[in-house]
Amino acid sequence: MTAHIHPSILSADFANFQSEFATISLADAIHVDVMDGHFVPNLTFGLPVVKRLVEISELPIDVHLMIENVDSLAVQYAETGAESVTFHQEASNNPLKLARELKASGARAAIAVKPGTNLDFVLDNLSEFDMVLVMTVEPGFGGQAFMDSMMEKVRQARSEITRLSLDVKLQVDGGIDTETVKIASAAGADTFVAGSSIFSKVHRNEEILLLREIADSAYQG
């Protein structure tokens, strides 16, 4: 496996995205958290900002929608040119229909689950998605502590992806650093969202390379 590292710009300098992107050029994609202040208590970026980020980024944009009304809004984010759009199972009335609409709009379709949501629906419908995101913190804020208890979900998802021989990425988001990336990779994750652990460093590309190296060494998929 080659681990995919997606720095979360929730930890970046919002006033200088273009220069911030230059410091993480060795990442695989840029993770953009869209929060509406309703589905989660925090408020971040909306559609116009995501459109602009797609324009200025040389890396693919991985959009994570933490919003209500996702069934009516998600496709607009796919139409920005974002490579991947993740929506929460908890926010959608028809996740399978939405996944198909995202794919038809040119984006990879990904589904996320909060820590309190079981994986039954996701596991029963894995082939409909290009990526599964297991949240390792409660969504809404950066800098939270990693929840080890979520690794059972990661193991379940990896086991089913392997059993079905699917090309489905398995992402974790929340509290990822050089210690926890090892735990998540050993459980079967292959894609890692990291915010403060990257943006707090002076040499961010070196941290990205280190995270990737540690994850690759620990992988147990």
To which H or E segment does residue 75 belong?
helix 70-78
Question: Is 33 a residue of the active site?
Answer: yes
Residue type, 119: L
Spell out the residues 6+ positions from residue 178 whose beta carbon is closer than 8 angstroms to its own: 197, 207, 210, 211, 214
- Out of 33, 62, 130, 177, the active site residue is 33
- Out of 28, 130, 173, 190, the active site residue is 173
Backbone angles phi, psi at 155, to 5 degrees: -65, -40
Question: Is 13 a residue of the active site?
Answer: no
Determine the Cα–Cα distance for residues 50 and 95; give it in Å rounded to an integer.
22
Spell out the residues 6+ positions from residue 155 whose beta carbon is closer than 8 angstroms to its own: 187, 188
Q: What is the largest distance, in Å, between two alpha-carbon atoms of the chain?
A: 45
Q: Are 154 and 132 in contact (CB under 8 A)?
A: no
Catalytically annotated residues: 33, 173
